[in-house]
Structure 1
Amino acid sequence: MDVPGRGGAGKDRTELRVQLTAQERTGLTALAAGLRGVAESDLSEEDALVAALELALTRLIDDFEVPDPVAREEVQRARDDLRAHWIRGAATL
């Protein structure tokens, strides 16, 4: 699906359905609110979720030793690719 991204450029996106508990939903809402305050930008819960994903990948790379070399390479490649195609403005942790 081609939808307008930040900066007006179209970005290819895949729709994903996520089921969250009430507590997880509250956490996501709070994360988005916190990021909006820090970034001083109108960020969505989707932006917050992607920022959390980028942080999780970075933590796996920097703070943990992923024992499987194939998985470790996959984590590194995914994080680098996510950063290379970043369209979320200041939504980073």
Structure 2
Amino acid sequence: MKNLIAMAAVVVALASPALAGDAGTTGKVNAIDAAGRTVNLTHGPIEALGWPGMTMDFAVLPSIDLDALKPGETIAFTVTQTPEGTYAIDSVTPAE
């Protein structure tokens, strides 16, 4: 049984995209849900995750000040994988 659990952990680790390198890109803020701590972004590819550009909702970590974000602005951001296996924005800066 222990070997089966160890093998399952290896399979999950190999199937999950690595966060090595920069797991970030730029994106346009479409909407902000302060109560739900989510931001809807149209973003470019996130190469470290193998994601194409798309429009999606992201959870935002508590360390991010949502009041600093405005719909229509372009930001640079990075994401991190949460313990639950989802991805959340962990840093935001104005895009250059």
Q: Could you say which TM-score interval applies, normalised by the shorter chain?
A: under 0.3
The TM-score, its normalising length taken from structure 2, stands at 0.22
- Structure with bigger helix share is 1
- Structure with bigger strand share is 2
The TM-score, its normalising length taken from structure 1, stands at 0.22
